[in-house]
Amino acid sequence: MRQRGVSTGFRALILGAAAGGGLPQWNCGCRNCNLARQGEIAPQTQSSLAVTGDGRHWTVLNASPDIRDQFTRTPALHPTGQRELPLSSVLVTNGDIDHVAGLLTLREMQPFTLLATAGIHDILSNNPIFDALNPEVVTRSTVTLEVPFSIAPGLQATLFPVPGKTPLYMERIGEEVRTDVIGDQTVGVKLEADGDVAYYIPGCAYLSPDLADRIDGADLVLFDGTLWRDDEMRLAGVGVKTGKRMGHMSMSGPEGSIAAFAPLDIGRKVYVHMNNTNPVFRPDAPERAEAEAAGWMIGQDGMEIQL
C-alpha cells in the first residue's frame, strides 16, 4: 500500500455516501435527518464516487444530483484552466435518479465521455431532457458487459451485471415489479490500476454465489449499504417499502451483506449509498459498532481511499 499523497496507483474519493435524498432529506423528520440539521452528525450528499489511476485524470462513477457541490469541495476535480477539468469520463451504473440527475448539471459544454451499457443509454436516450448534453461535446460510449476498457489513463474498468431492478420512475401500475433482474440496467464496476483491484457496487439486491466468487480476493469493495434492516423505513415511519422491494440488500440479518461477506477475503470493505434512516450514520449507534466489528468502514462524504 502506497503512502497518501503519491500520485500513482488507484485512488478513490467518496463524493457522496448517501442514497437518494441525501442526509438530511429535505422532507424527512426522522432521527438521523434531525440530528444532521442540528449538526450532531455529518450531513451526506447523494451517491457518487471519483476514481483515478494516475492522480491527474479522474472518472466520476454516477452523476449525483449534488454533483455541483461535490465538485466544489473536491480540489482534485477543480478546473485547471478556463474550461479545462481533470475529468476524463462519467460512468453510470443504473438509471436511478440519484445516479443520473447530475448529468444535467454537467451540460455546460464541457467535454467528457459518458459511459454506460446499452440498456442504461436507452433509458437516457428515451428522456429528451438529457439531450442537454451536447453530443458534439459529450461523447456517449456504449460499454459491453465483461469486456475490459480504459476508463482513464492508468485505470481499467469492467462492467458486470448485479441483481437489481428498473428505476422507480419506470415502474408501471399493475405490472409485476422484479427486484432481482440480472442484465445490463444495473451493473457493478471492477477497477484495476497498477495491480490493485477494487469493486464499486452501489446497488445490489442480493449477493449471488457468482458475485461472491467474483469479488473474493479484492483489495477493496465499496458496496450497497442502503438499509440496516429490511423493514427499516416502516419502523421509522417514513415509508412502506422494504429494502427488498427497492432492490437493495440490507446490512444485517442472516441474509444481509455483513453475513454474506464474512467468509470472503477482501482487503477493505466500505459501505456506500446509505439511506437517511440507516442508524450506521450515527457514530454512537450499536449498529455501527456491529458493522465496524465485522470489518466494515462506513463511507462518508470526502473519504479518501488509496491502494
**Which residues on adjacent β-strands are paired with residue 61?**
49, 91
3-state secondary structure of 79: coil
CATH code, 11-306: 3.60.15.10
Per-residue confidence (pLDDT) for residue 233, from 0 to 100: 86
Mean per-residue pLDDT for 158-176? 72
> If pLDDT is split at 50, 70 and 90, which confidence band does 126 have?
very high
Number of helical (H) and strand (E) elements in the chain, helices listed first: 8, 14
> If pLDDT is split at 50, 70 and 90, which confidence band does 237 have?
confident
Q: Is the pLDDT of residue 6 over 50?
A: no
Tell me the domain boundaries of the chain: 11-306
- The cell for 180 is 432481482
Per-residue confidence (pLDDT) for residue 54, from 0 to 100: 94
Mean per-residue pLDDT for 70-89? 95
44/38 Cα distance (integer angstroms): 14
pLDDT tens sequence across 264-301: 999 999 999 999 999 999 999 999 999 999 999 999 99
Per-residue confidence (pLDDT) for residue 3, from 0 to 100: 36
Among 63-67, 163-167, 212-216, 239-243, the minimum mean pLDDT is found in 163-167
